[in-house]
């Protein structure tokens, strides 16, 4: 805060000095008029030409200076409050689930993406403009790839791609509260609840290509259960964002843990990554498995074994 104030003051001072400098060319041109008045005397015609030029040069220099100063210290704009948090969520939310501040927001919008709230709250008109901007960027990509974005087959591709990308990342516009709604029920059930083979489609945030596979979710209730379809909806919400499989696994587990405060949660994801099978090492059969075990799934080998047996992995 103090630093920012100091920078602002510094900027103000600089801008003031620029304004002062701006007024000077006028006086110098006045001077040159005076000069020319003097120089109307015979024999001094040369100075007539040079003085206005130096005045223009000075003006240009000052303009340049002003531009430089502005680029170095851009004028602070009025921004929505959440933009001021830039960088904060990642610093304050530890990556590990075994800490007091797990990386989940109740509204799920400010982590990991800062623009998610802006996207959710944008008007239909703004959304249309966003789609157009993405399409323009895709045109650039097509051109750079050596393609002709104006040939018949590609004419509507940029718009189609923009819509597809917005769909693939629609999870940014959802949050836990809306997904769960009122599907948490009091129930005296304390046996393992398990939903297997939930299909997930996500985008690898390192290559922006899909990874997809199956997600298995289990939990042991502690007086509260969640509507079964909501487990799949949670997996869908988090997977429709730019992800790495490890984080996706963890986010589902922690979200469920926060919603139900159950005795334990286990999430296993088995996925095929296009960035792995279609390029680089090209191991077409490779499947990546990740798991996140919380509570009694973590502390009790027996519970973990039961879960893995039910998955057919033991």
* Residues at the site binding Zn ion, with contacts judged by CB under 5 A: 204, 206-207, 275
Q: Which is nearer to Zn ion, 204 or 254 (CB)?
A: 204
State the catalytic residue, choosing from 70, 147, 159, 207.
Answer: 207
**Residue 207 Cβ, how far from Zn ion at the closest point, in Å?**
4
**Residue 206 Cβ, how far from Zn ion at the closest point, in Å?**
4
Question: How far is it, in rounded angstroms, from Cα 59 to Cα 51?
Answer: 13
- The reply to whether 292 belongs to the active site is no
User: Residues, the chain, total?
Assistant: 314
- The reply to whether 19 belongs to the active site is no
Q: Tell me phi and psi for residue 74, to 5 degrees.
A: -60, 140
State the catalytic residue, choosing from 204, 215, 292, 296.
Answer: 204
**How many CA atoms lie within 13 Å of 281's alpha carbon, on the beta-carbon side?**
8
Let me know: does 97 contact 254? Beta carbons within 8 Å: yes
Question: How far is it, in rounded angstroms, from Cα 119 to Cα 82?
Answer: 12
**Residue 279 Cβ, how far from Zn ion at the closest point, in Å?**
9
**Residue 136 Cβ, how far from Zn ion at the closest point, in Å?**
25
- The reply to whether 73 belongs to the active site is no
Centroid of chain to Cα 14: 34
Where does 40-87 have alpha helices with state H? Answer: 45-72
- The reply to whether 216 belongs to the active site is no
Q: Tell me phi and psi for residue 90, to 5 degrees.
A: -65, -30
Residue 171: DSSP 8-state:
G
- The reply to whether 273 belongs to the active site is yes
State the catalytic residue, choosing from 273, 292, 296, 306.
Answer: 273
| 3-state DSSP assignment of residue 25 | helix
**Which pair of structure tokens corresponds to residue 115?**
């623009």
**Residue 56 Cβ, how far from Zn ion at the closest point, in Å?**
55
State the catalytic residue, choosing from 59, 147, 159, 275.
Answer: 275
As beta bridge partners, residue 291 has 268
Q: Which is nearer to Zn ion, 200 or 231 (CB)?
A: 200
Q: Which is nearer to Zn ion, 177 or 206 (CB)?
A: 206
Q: Which is nearer to Zn ion, 195 or 275 (CB)?
A: 275
Q: Which is nearer to Zn ion, 203 or 225 (CB)?
A: 203
State the catalytic residue, choosing from 174, 243, 245, 251.
Answer: 245
Let me know: does 243 contact 232? Beta carbons within 8 Å: no
- The reply to whether 205 belongs to the active site is yes
Closest C-alpha among 248, 179, 172 to residue 215: 248
Catalytic residues: 204-207, 245, 273, 275
């Amino acid at each position: 805060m103090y630093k920012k104030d100091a920078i602002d003051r510094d900027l103000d001072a600089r801008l003031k000095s620029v304004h002062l400098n701006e007024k000077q060319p006028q006086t110098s041109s006045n001077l040159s008029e005076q000069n020319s008045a003097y120089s109307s005397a015979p024999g001094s015609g040369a100075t007539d030409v040079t003085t206005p030029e130096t005045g223009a040069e000075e003006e240009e220099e000052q303009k340049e200076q002003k531009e430089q100063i502005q680029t170095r210290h851009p004028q602070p704009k009025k921004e929505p409050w959440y933009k001021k948090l830039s960088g904060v969520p990642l610093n304050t939310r530890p990556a590990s689930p075994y800490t007091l501040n797990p990386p989940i927001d109740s509204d799920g919008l400010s982590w990991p993406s800062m623009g998610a709230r802006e996207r959710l709250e944008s008007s239909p008109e703004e959304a249309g403009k966003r789609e157009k901007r993405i399409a323009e960027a895709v045109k650039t990509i097509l051109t750079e790839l050596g393609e002709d974005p104006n040939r018949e087959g590609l004419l509507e591709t940029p718009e189609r791609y923009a819509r597809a990308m917005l769909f693939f990342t629609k999870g940014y516009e959802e949050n836990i509260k809306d997904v769960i709604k009122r599907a948490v029920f009091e129930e005296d059930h304390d046996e393992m609840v398990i939903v297997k083979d939930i299909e997930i489609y996500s985008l690898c945030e390192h290559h922006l290509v899909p990874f997809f596979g199956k997600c298995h979710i289990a939990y042991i209730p502690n007086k509260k259960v969640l509507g079964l379809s909501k487990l799949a909806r949670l997996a869908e919400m988090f997977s429709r964002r730019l992800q790495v499989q490890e984080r996706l696994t963890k986010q589902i587990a922690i979200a469920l843990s926060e919603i139900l405060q159950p005795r334990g949660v286990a999430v296993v994801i088995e996925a095929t990554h296009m960035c792995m099978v279609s390029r680089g090492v090209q191991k077409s059969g490779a499947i990546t498995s990740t798991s996140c075990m919380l509570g009694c799934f973590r502390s009790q080998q027996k519970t973990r074994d039961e879960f893995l047996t039910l998955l057919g992995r033991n």
